[in-house]
Amino acid sequence: MVEIAISLAVIGIALVAIIGVLPIGMNTQRDNREETIINQDATMFIEAIRGGARGMDDLTNYVYAITNYWGQYNANGFTSLTPYGYTNYPSFLVNGMNIVGLLSTPEYTDTNGLPIPTLMFGGYSNHVVAYVRSISGPAVEKPPPDNSIVQADAFGYRILCVNAPVAVDTNIFTLPVYSPVYIYNQQLAANLHELRLTFLWPQQPNGNLGPGRQTFRTMVAGQIVQTNNGQWLYFYQPQSFVNVTNAP
């Protein structure tokens, strides 16, 4: 009987240890799965924005809201109106072109919505955030998303989209506009941008965010061109130059 009691005690201790490790293993597996989904989705979003994609209408099944918290600044560096405004585009996300066009909004724009390299002379600072249900992952979470319970349980995240002009020495703005250094830096700021996508996850049904954070960065050569399709949209347009010969 003593030996049986000792054996049961050893087995009980082992089972308690195993049961205690199981939640840790399940949480680690969940975290790894979420990071894998984020890495796969980030590659797709970066390529879509960098390439100025127009026909990715499948994004309407996953991107369900895009917001822009914008601030207006004057030439003295102070806000001249309300510190931050808010724009929401839930009814505008009817096709992939509109989604990519909003995610490509420049970090700095002037009063006409045109991209500018700095806020030294005033303008708007844009803070664009997309709310997304994961594109990769289990098929049971994918469209058609006509079930509110499935939508609430699907893995979601937010994307902070920053299309920042390449950093330049702000002292050049004191130089004459015809100065070669001034012209070069103006051209550089207009034709080279840093695209930063910060993923925040998981998006919870109550609106809160979990602890997941990851930022992806890449340099994009080309101008950000503004269009007007009922709402200002922006697309990267590569600037390439080739030698052209006259046909015989």
The answer to whether position 246 is within a domain reads no
> What pLDDT sits at residue 201?
96
Q: What angle do CA 95, 44, 132 make, to 5 degrees?
A: 60
> What pLDDT sits at residue 63?
93
The answer to whether position 248 is within a domain reads no
The answer to whether position 7 is within a domain reads yes
Residues 106, 234 contacting (CB under 8 angstroms):
yes
Residue 210 domain boundaries: 2-237
The answer to whether position 146 is within a domain reads yes
The answer to whether position 95 is within a domain reads yes
> What pLDDT sits at residue 44?
95
In a 10 Å sphere around its CB, with 0-12 CB exposed, 13-18 middle and 19+ buried, how is residue 240 labelled? exposed
The answer to whether position 119 is within a domain reads yes
The tokens of 123 are what?
């303008």
> What pLDDT sits at residue 153?
76
The tokens of 65 are what?
């809201």
Consecutive 10-residue averages of pLDDT for the chain (248 residues): 72 69 71 92 95 89 91 77 73 91 94 85 91 87 68 87 82 69 72 93 89 94 82 82 48
The answer to whether position 243 is within a domain reads no
Indicate the pTM of the whole model.
Answer: 0.81
Cβ contacts of 156 within 8 Å, gap of 6 or more: 131, 132, 133, 134, 201, 202, 203
The answer to whether position 247 is within a domain reads no
Tell which residue, 25, 28, 33, has the closest CA to residue 141.
33
User: 145-177 burial, b for 16+ CB within 10 Å, e for fewer?
Assistant: eeeeeeeeebbbbbbebbbebbebeeeeeeeee
> What pLDDT sits at residue 81?
59
> What pLDDT sits at residue 247?
45
**What is the rounded CA–CA span in Å between residue 148 and residue 122?**
44
> What pLDDT sits at residue 143?
63
Q: What secondary structure does DSSP assign to 25-64, as a single string?
A: HHHHHHHHHHHHHHHHHHHHHHHHHHTT----GGGGGTEE
Strands 156-165 and 85-88: unpaired
In the chain, DSSP finds a helix count (H) and a strand count (E) of 4, 9
Q: Where do runs of H (alpha helix) occur along 51-166?
A: 96-103, 148-153
**What is the rounded CA–CA span in Å between residue 17 and residue 173?**
66
**How many domains, the chain?**
1
Residues 224, 232 contacting (CB under 8 angstroms):
no
